[in-house]
Structure 1
Amino acid sequence: MRRRLINTTLGVVLVVVAVLGIPLAFVETRAIETTAKDNLKAEAARVLEVVELRLSSGDQPDVAVLERQVASSRYAAITIPGRPVLEFGKKPTGRTLNVSMSGPHGETVTVSESRDEVSQRVRESLLLILGVALLAVAAATALAVWQARRLARPLTDLAETAERLGSGDPRPRQRRYDVPELDRVAEVLDQSAERIARMLTAERRLAADASHQLRTPLTALSMRLEEIIATEDPGTVKEEAAIALTQVERLTDVVERLLTSTRRGAAGRDPRTESAVTVSVDDVIRQQVDEWRPAVASAHRAIRVTGQSGLVAVATPGALAQVLATLLENALMHGGGTVTISTRRIGSSIVVEVEDEGAGVSDVLGARVFERAVSGRNSTGLGLAVARDLAEADGGRLELLQLRPPVFAVFLGAYPGADNGD
């Protein structure tokens, strides 16, 4: 492209130089020749005038006076009837340029000049025109190179930006080039880079959230299957199988919620606008207690439920179960002693608290406990962050009420049509 721009600019300049220079050279040549003839005519007229004055007064023309009327480089010859020819100046050889004028007494004045003198002036003028043309071409070449670099560099940068986008590096470069068309392309590429970055971030976040949300029900399902394998009592097998089926339903709900969230995000809608339904808080807590009791018992710890019963909240059952599962898993992994789940109603909100008797959360960690990739131990640091997102998706919130002993609380909207302990 750079070479094409240079060649195009030079082609235009050469055409302009040719169109203007050739006629100018022709006109200048004619002007020099015309000027030379006019000068010869003027000198011949002066000489003739002097000769006429001398003849009119009856005197002989003075050659010394006549020589002063003609340039030293020219030759003049005066022919007077009945008298010798008067000559002065160096007679030119080769081609000459002659002008003759006659007077009333029959006298004739001829002034000559070598055409080599005229040709020399023509060559000097043509060389000047050629020099100006070459200077114009050189200036045009420099301008073409500068302009080609100025236009080629932004295009190279834009190509590199597009290549970076294609290779998975969506960082916008925020470069502008003072060329409106190129700046528009750069702006569109930067906007595309930002959109791709948001999409990649959302996909990575979805993958991380999906792996974490699926891990808990899969772990619970694995524990139930291990219980079935370890027992030979048909009643226990039946009970554990029923719980396992519940886990499968919950796992299906998690997958469906993730897919719905993905579809809504791809359609440009906020996945948090999914409408929640009424859910019995007691049923969700009971299901979670049954799910986690074997793991708690294997750690030689206990789990108990206190507080108001019969509470009905506005929430998504699967999301609320996932939040409680995260809090119970967190208490089992990082806490100690008995795990207590308590429920109460405060105004138009229903609060579900999860507490254990462990060492609690440090002051430094407590301020960032809900941030992603922040963990007190070698864990993913996603659990509480995902749990908070799920709670907020249902219009609620998840908070750390107390550091030591740790108390996490889920705040949900109370269903106005239910008794809820009133």
Structure 2
Amino acid sequence: MTDWISLAAGQSYPSGTLYVVATPIGNLADLSLRALHVLGLVDAVACEDTRNTGQLLTRVGLHRPLLAVHEHNEREAAERINARLAAGERVAYVSDAGTPGISDPGARLVEAARAAGHAVVPLPGPSATVAALSVAGAMLDSGDGRFTFAGFLPPKARARADAIAALATLDHAWVVYEAPHRIADTLAALAAALPAGRRLLIGRELTKLFEEIKVLPVSEAPAWLAADPSRAKGEFVLVVEGASPAAADAGLPDARAQQVLGLLLAELPAKRGRQAGRRHHRRADGCAVSAGAGAARRGWRGRPSHGVSRRRGRRGRRWRSRRRGPGRAAWSAPRLSGSCAWWPPACAPCGPCAPAWRDCRPSRYRWRHRRRHRPHRRRLARAAAPAPLPRSATGAGFQPAWSRVR
């Protein structure tokens, strides 16, 4: 009888090396003899979850130091593992189930070890993607053996629908993972986005005791899942049949156009251009940009202001006037000089365009704070105002220079 352990031990396992070991996805018997030999050979085992890996090592009769390396500390843990590798130790990395780096942590650790000059050796083994594709039959053959692995779909409904729309035009099979608490929503989204005759393979609890594999039209998948509550339990692998070449060619441009249009609408709304011009008004050439775009200056209540407007105080007398600019005609003409000629050059806080500091902020900020800051500005204006001159000195209709906001 062949001594399989000796065959595994006959391989070279140099020191100072990171070994990426695939572990079973359900059935412990799927652990390879070579992986078992390496786990017993290494000086430490880096793992995604020390509890799960500790149980795995206990069941195979091994005891090794465990190092937690997950998605939240992968960069920091890589430094500690590189120090061990530099000291000549052998370190194995395993995920909770399957092959590390495939919808699991491990990619950053491998990159850090390689960047530090250490060797990285893979030990192949179980993978839920490959296991599902091996029983997909003609669904995989229709794309000449090609497939796309998309990992987990986004949890949000809109993002998930966009991801499915992008995958729906592929002319070959594509594979996604799904958790039990989202499988119903995902199957409903697939049924709504894909043609009714598109075939779907549902792999549930692969290699485990309650393993189930079902191939059916995508339109029937939600009803199949709802028929038995126990079908919503476990981990899922979904293999979706690719579109026919004619459908893929017909749908690809429209899908790409919709995707690009959605990105543009999300990143640059219609009002963003004029708001950006007002936001950068404090720059020396900001006035020219806003004027060229035809953006009107805004008044106290967010309304366009093109001249002199007056406000009345509590006692009904006119207490100041404010000049917001020379009017629409002057605004429409681009001014390429270094500053705005109609504003004093030494105003703070925005430089030459300082009196327009409210217009430099987004409109939502101006609307949110205008009522709260208005009493404060009135108190400052009254506190800074000198004593009023006698009426005989001012004359009828005279207005002191200090009462005008420049």
Q: Tell me the TM-score range normalised by the shorter chain.
A: under 0.3
Answer 1 or 2: which has greater helix percent: 1
TM-score (norm 1): 0.18
User: Which has more radius of gyration?
Assistant: 1
TM-score (norm 2): 0.18
